[in-house]
Amino acid sequence: MYGFEALTFNIHGGYLEAIVRGYRSGLLTAADYNNLCQCETLDDIKMHLTATEYGPYLQNEPSPLHTTTIVEKCTLKLVDEYKHMLCQATEPLSTFLEYITYGHMIDNVVLIVTGTLHERDVQELLEKCHPLGMFDSIATLAVAQNMRELYRLVLVDTPLAPYFSECITSEDLDDMNIEIMRNTLYKAYLEDFYQFCQKLGGATAEIMSDLLAFEADRRAVNITINSIGTELTRDDRKKLYSNFGLLYPYGHEELAVCEDIDQVRGVMEKYPPYQPIFAKLSYGESQMLDKAFYEEEVKRLCLAFEQQFHYAVFFAYMRLKEQEIRNLMWISECVAQNQKSRVHDSVVFIF
């Protein structure tokens, strides 16, 4: 019952909430980012990161460094922290933590299937998979020729099985089918996660509803913008939008018929929470939209830490850490390409 978590939450969740709040204090600060943005080489970045909590993961990496190496090692830290929390968690927190990784699982499935379609080596594809989204039979995905086989041979025993009911066909897998499969799976996953959080109730349901609704709305906007000028029909586009969120259902009706970025802006500006995001963009421009959305997301994730005795702090920490890794990837790319003047284009400060 909402309001009484303080009495019972710490019995099962107190230790892990303390752990995740400790992890949160290890996130890079604005001072760290300012130092990193002034680095001249990737070795300088490594040197600065060695003085942070990423130290043990990067200090033994030989030069010359590559941007993907920095990202891999930082991701390993996130994976270790997640596994520590998962192995200590009891129900329903353990299920909640598992839900956080299903998005990566979907990405990995699509990566393997797409790579196999392009006749890539399975081992090479497995190396590119996100470690949080790995499962035992993932390599068997390379054998499937269509979605029915994909489901029957591999995914029926994975947590993604319930999400496949809407996209099982016997059509051979091609680029368009795979894209629709990706977005349909993610839609089903978000809706399922949303329902799960509603069942948990209390502060978890309240905070996670807001965070997941924002995620659903952002996905709707990205699907709309990315499908402009493609063969995706309006009906197919609308089917990929989630069935919850601030934009559901009237915003989705309007987004489904948008043909350019200015029409998308016209739709989104009717919703007060999204007006400040689109106010930062000039007309016809969508380059800074991602950064604007990331900034808004970070703001909402940081607010999750203002309350106690709920599970949303775990979700918020994982997302903030992923944003931090994205920041490090961008800074590394700008340094490697000698484009330091552009480094602030995509860095989103946390806290």
Partner 1 sequence: MEEENRELNPENGSGFTKQHQEEEEDHKVVKFLDSADSYLDLFDSLSSTLRQGWLELATARQSMGASRINRALFDLKYHNAATSLQVIQDDVKQPNFTLCKWVSTNNQNCSTEEAKFDEDELFEKNSTNAQLRYRGTSEIQEKSPESIGSKLTVVDQIQKERSKSLSMFGTLVSPKLRCAQISFETALDTLIEMANMRSSLLSAYDQVHKDMASTKG
The residues that touch partner 1, with contacts defined as CB under 8 A, are 68, 71, 107-108, 110-111, 114-115, 118-120, 124-125, 127-130, 175-176, 178-179, 182-183, 222-223, 225-227, 229-232, 286-287, 290, 326, 329-330, 333-334, 337, 339, 342, 345-346
The least CB distance from residue 181 to partner 1, in Å, is 11
**Shortest gap between Cβ of 128 and partner 1 (angstroms)?**
5
114 SS3 class: helix
Name which of 8 and 337 has its Cβ closer to partner 1.
337
Q: Which of 160, 150, 156 is nearest to 117 (CA)?
A: 150
CB 236 to partner 1: min, Å: 11
Shortest separation between residue 69's beta carbon and partner 1, angstroms? 12
In the complex, the smallest distance separating the C-beta of residue 229 from partner 1, rounded to whole angstroms, is 7
Q: Which two tokens stand for residue 254?
A: 């309007």
Given the complex with partner 1, which of 139 and 225 has the nearer CB atom? 225
Q: Considering the complex, what minimum distance in angstroms separates the CB of residue 294 from partner 1?
A: 9
Residue 337 is given by DSSP the state: T
Q: Which is nearer to partner 1, 19 or 71 (CB)?
A: 71
Which of residues 20 and 289 has its CB atom nearest to partner 1 in the complex? Answer: 289
Residue closer to partner 1 by CB (options 46, 219) is 219
Beta bridge partners of 146: 172
CA–CA separation, 264 vs 283, rounded Å?
11
| C-alpha–C-alpha distance, residues 44 and 223, integer Å | 38
Distance in angstroms (rounded) separating the CA atoms of residues 250 and 246: 9
**Tokens representing 276?**
């400040």
Q: Closer CB to partner 1, residue 280 or residue 342?
A: 342
Quick check: 263 and 286 in contact, CB under 8 A?
no
The candidate with the shortest Cα–Cα distance to 138, out of 119, 158, 152, 118, is: 158
> Any residues with CB less than 8 A from the CB of 8 and at least 6 apart, and which?
none
Identity of the amino acid at 137: S
